[in-house]
């Protein structure tokens, strides 16, 4: 593959990746290392068919925001938090990813403003882009969380040759467990102060006394 016009990002095994996932999914125990096949559900950088995509974040807060703060609604209920676990993982070997938030990559492989800020729930631009990246030989996509004004929370979509549970093949689990109330409290406090601000792309959830079990 030619990389002359593409700035790459190397995801190293030393980098901690966080993922929040359901304790139970489709009647079976949930898996931290789950690669979506893009058939039953529409996630942003899903690949069609046998290859799969696993979505992770660079921080527990980033993972929490991606799961619970992407759409408008009545707020995040403690019962929904309790349905999920959080995993701390690492890739098993260095992975070459395509970073979206690099000025030099704008206009390359279809990377543009429309792709960066796509809000169509079917994600036609992002999924077509993921197919191009996969077929060109890269192992995933890196992008800044849309809800983070600091630019420090980063998301990673890691590709695998196969979908489903791939623990120990693409990703190793360092630890997994319940979502700590300290994490819930940190994110709740952050959004209450409005530090991230309202977003026309993913409006903040309306707050109420029931949010986060307060």
Q: How far is residue 211's CA from residue 213's CA, in Å, rounded to a whole number?
A: 5
pLDDT tens digits along 157-184:
999 999 999 888 999 999 999 999 889 8
Q: Which residues contact 98 (CB under 8 A, 6 or more apart)?
A: 6, 8, 9, 105, 109, 111, 133, 138, 140, 141, 142
Closest to 111 (Cα-Cα) out of 128, 136, 87, 94 = 128
| Least confident piece of the model among 89-93, 121-125, 137-141 | 121-125
Distance CA 169, CA 90 (A): 11
CA distance 61 to 57: 8
Q: What is the pTM of this model?
A: 0.85
Cα distances from 212 to residues 117, 155, 186, in angstroms, run 28, 23, 11
pLDDT for res 94 = 98
Average pLDDT taken over every residue of the chain: 84
pLDDT at 202 over 50: no
Inter-residue contact 184 to 81 (CB < 8 Å)? yes
């Amino acid at each position: 593959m030619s990389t002359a016009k593409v700035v790459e990002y190397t995801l190293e095994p030393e980098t901690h990746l966080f993922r929040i996932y359901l304790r139970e999914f489709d009647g079976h125990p949930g898996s931290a290392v789950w690669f979506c096949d893009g058939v039953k559900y529409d996630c942003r950088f899903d690949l069609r068919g046998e290859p799969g995509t696993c979505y992770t974040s660079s921080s527990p807060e980033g993972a929490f925001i991606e799961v619970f703060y992407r759409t408008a609604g009545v707020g995040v209920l403690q019962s929904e938090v309790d349905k999920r676990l959080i995993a701390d993982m690492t890739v098993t070997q260095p992975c070459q990813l395509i970073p979206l938030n690099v000025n030099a990559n704008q206009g390359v492989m279809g990377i543009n403003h429309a792709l960066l800020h796509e809000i169509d729930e079917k994600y036609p631009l992002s999924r077509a882009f993921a197919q191009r990246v996969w077929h060109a030989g890269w192992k995933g996509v890196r992008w800044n969380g849309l809800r983070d004004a600091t630019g420090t929370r980063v998301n990673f979509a890691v590709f695998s040759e196969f979908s489903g549970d791939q623990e120990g093949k693409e990703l190793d689990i360092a630890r997994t467990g319940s979502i700590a109330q300290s994490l819930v409290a940190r994110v709740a406090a952050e959004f209450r102060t409005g530090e991230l601000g309202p977003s026309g792309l993913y409006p903040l959830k309306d707050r109420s006394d029931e949010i986060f079990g307060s």
